[in-house]
């Protein structure tokens, strides 16, 4: 499917199958009153509905700047584009009238022990995630929003990335795309095609202790995680596999044969096969209690060129969604603190945002209950 529906109880771009190109941008907003916020939300809704559904761009008088950048030509194809809007804690905290609406767990991202956060790559009042088949569609959409909302959106940081879209193997077996450390990534993700699982893991609902307006939304975590790829490429294969707890070529767990095989930690209590400090065993020990801490990961690989110290600047634009930020990302990241993978990765930016509920019907707009 090339056109992702815009209207619905949830925003697109969260459980939507991940296309090849992703871009997350964070903004500060010029909003001093509920009326300003309404103007911003209404304008975002109009632009997003157009950009994701496609159509012809208006042709204006040549004496005026063109209505559209023209990057995609006069006819905008939807290209699987989704645009997902999230709100940062700063938006609520710096505007007293919005404070009572702040989702309960929304907070400013604090550094974890292995982080080296660059303040210029962190936080923001508002996040926008763009995903499409081609990077040009994401760039076009970003430019459209910046032009049409230039008096209210101030760009803070952005990171784009890509990921190959991998078809299942000939025998129908799942094959996940690889990250830039060469490992299949996404294997153990909860099934985004299963609405019951998503209702439990991703969407805020009645069971969550959140303001009523927030139902249908989700906590979005963005982390720009640099990879020290030169060191990684000199690390023995056996060590790489012990660090993740999976086989590099197949993606199988260390006690399994295929990517779909499920590791049996009960049969390996001392971690002789899958080390106790391996990434997957720490991230999800697969105890009954660990079911409470599932997250939906939706990352992209990035390559930004060369660092000042002449190393490759590559990494993972880690994005995940969950109904409860504390039970989800914060608990899982807490368990990963000190993992051996840290020798090869360095989180440098990102933020926590609340992905708004969807726009249920035409005529309605994003974030309406907040204004």
Site string for ligand HEM, 205-234 (x = CB under 6 A): ------------------x-x-x-------
Angle between the 34-53 and 135-148 helix axes, to the nearest 10 degrees? Answer: 150
Query: Tokens 């404070």 sit at which residue?
Result: 99
Select from 146, 177, 260, 336 the one that contacts ligand HEM (CB under 6 A): 336
d(CA 51, CA 229): 36
Helix%, strand%, coil% for the chain, nearest 5: 30, 25, 50
* Residue placing its CB nearer to ligand HEM in the complex, 225 or 254: 225
Q: Which of 232, 321, 329, 352 binds ligand HEM (CB under 6 A)?
A: 329
Site string for ligand HEM, 340-359 (x = CB under 6 A): -----x--------------
Is 240 near ligand HEM (CB under 6 A)? no
Q: Shortest distance, CB of residue 132 to ligand HEM, whole angstroms?
A: 23
Span interacting with ligand HEM, options 29-37, 159-167, 184-192, 197-205, rule CB under 6 A: 184-192
End-to-end Cα spacing for the chain: 34
Pick from 173, 201, 186: which is nearest to 293 by CA?
A: 201
Question: Which among 98, 125, 152 is positioned nearest to 25, based on CA atoms?
Answer: 125
Choose the binding region for ligand HEM from 15-23, 90-98, 134-142, 278-286 (rule: CB under 6 A): 278-286
Q: Does 202 bind ligand HEM (CB under 6 A)?
A: no
> Alpha helices of the chain — where are they, by DSSP H?
34-53, 89-93, 135-148, 195-201, 229-232, 237-244, 279-283, 331-336
| Residue 179 binds ligand HEM, judged by CB under 6 A | yes
* Total residues in contact with ligand HEM, by rule CB under 6 A: 25
Q: Using CB under 6 A, which of 318, 352, 353, 354 touches ligand HEM?
A: 318
The verdict on 333 binding ligand HEM (CB under 6 A) reads yes
- Taking alpha carbons only, the member of 233, 185, 235 closest to residue 340 is 235
Q: How big is the chain, counted in residues?
A: 371
Q: 128, 142, 254, 283: which one contacts ligand HEM (CB under 6 A)?
A: 283
Measured from the CB atom, is 328 or 357 closer to ligand HEM?
328
Q: Which of 83, 252, 332, 366 binds ligand HEM (CB under 6 A)?
A: 332
Residue 155 · residue 163 · CB < 8 Å = no
Identify which of residues 81 and 296 has a Cβ nearer to ligand HEM in the complex: 296
Q: Does 280 bind ligand HEM (CB under 6 A)?
A: yes
Alpha-carbon gap, residue 171 to 128, rounded angstroms: 37
Question: What tokens were used for 358?
Answer: 């969807």
Question: What stretches of 185-307 adopt beta strand conformation (E)?
Answer: 218-227, 296-297, 300-306
Please give the residue ranges that form the binding site for ligand HEM (CB under 6 A).
Answer: 179, 181, 183-188, 223, 225, 227, 244, 246, 279-280, 283-284, 295, 316, 318, 329, 332-333, 336, 345
């Amino acid at each position: 499917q090339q056109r992702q529906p815009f209207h619905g109880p949830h925003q697109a771009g969260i459980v939507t199958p991940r296309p090849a190109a992703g871009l997350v941008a964070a903004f500060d907003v010029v909003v001093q009153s509920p009326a300003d916020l309404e103007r911003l939300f209404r304008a975002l809704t109009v632009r997003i509905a157009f950009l994701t559904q496609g159509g012809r761009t208006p042709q204006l008088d040549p004496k005026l700047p063109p209505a559209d950048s023209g990057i995609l030509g006069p006819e905008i194809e939807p290209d699987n584009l989704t645009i997902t809007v999230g709100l940062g804690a700063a938006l609520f905290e710096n505007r007293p009238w919005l404070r009572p609406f702040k989702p309960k767990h929304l907070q400013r991202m604090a550094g974890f022990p292995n982080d080296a956060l660059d303040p210029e790559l962190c936080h923001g009042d508002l996040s926008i995630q763009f995903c499409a088949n081609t990077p040009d569609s994401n760039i076009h959409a970003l430019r459209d929003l910046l032009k049409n909302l230039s008096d209210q959106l101030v760009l803070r940081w952005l990171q784009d990335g890509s990921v190959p879209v991998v078809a299942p193997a000939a025998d129908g077996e799942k094959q996940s795309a690889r990250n830039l450390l060469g490992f299949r990534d996404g294997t153990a993700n909860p099934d985004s095609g299963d609405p019951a699982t998503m209702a439990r893991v991703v969407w805020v609902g009645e069971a969550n202790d959140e303001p009523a307006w927030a139902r249908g939304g989700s906590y979005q975590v963005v982390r720009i995680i640099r990879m020290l790829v030169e060191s990684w490429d000199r690390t023995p294969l056996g060590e790489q596999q012990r660090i993740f707890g999976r086989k590099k070529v197949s993606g199988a767990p260390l006690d399994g044969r295929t990517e779909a095989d499920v590791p049996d930690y009960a049969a390996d209590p001392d971690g002789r096969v899958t080390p106790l400090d391996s990434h997957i065993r720490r991230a999800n020990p697969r105890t009954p209690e660990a079911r409470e801490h599932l997250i939906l990961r939706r990352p992209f690989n990035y390559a930004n060129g060369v660092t000042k110290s002449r190393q490759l600047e590559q990494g993972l634009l880690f994005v995940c969604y969950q109904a409860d930020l504390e039970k989800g990302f914060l608990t899982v990241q807490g368990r990963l603190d000190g993992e051996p993978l840290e020798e090869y990765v360095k989180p440098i930016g990102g933020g926590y945002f609340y992905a708004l509920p969807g726009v249920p019907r035409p005529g309605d707009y994003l974030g309406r209950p907040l204004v």
